[in-house]
Amino acid sequence: MPEENQATAESPSESSPSQPTNESEKTKGNLSSPEGILMLCVAGIIDVISLIPVINVISGVLGIIIIGGWLVITRPGQAIKKAVKRFLIAIGIEAIPIVSALPSWTWFVYKILKE
């Protein structure tokens, strides 16, 4: 009987090291999370579409709708305030015809996931 009590007493201590203890460990896996990989791929596809001059405007609208919607859905109030500045920079880059060839949506998603 005492052996069973010792086994049950040890189980809570075994589960606590597997949980992240500080905030930096909790946010460490954002780039490698399924959400991060998916959004980086979507941003990359939108940036590739922006290389074609005829449909450059469409890629800007897609970026605003898809990536902007993702930002609004996944970020709480204070975090979205920090991200709006970068979002406006990405929109500004996409609005200039020659400069829109830069991977601004990919840069934006990468920076948001690294926060």
Say which range, 4-8, 9-13, 100-104, has the weakest mean pLDDT: 9-13
Higher pLDDT, 21 or 47: 47
pLDDT averaged over every residue in the chain = 79
What is the Cα 49 distance to its own chain's centre? 20
C-alpha to C-alpha distance for 96 and 104, rounded to whole angstroms = 11
pLDDT tens-place string over residues 60-81: 898 999 999 999 998 888 888 8
Q: Over range 16-33, report the average pLDDT.
A: 57
Domain ranges of the chain: 29-114
> Quick one: what percent of the chain has pLDDT higher than 70?
75
- Name the residue among 95, 88, 51 with its Cα closest to residue 71: 88
Higher pLDDT, 105 or 16: 105
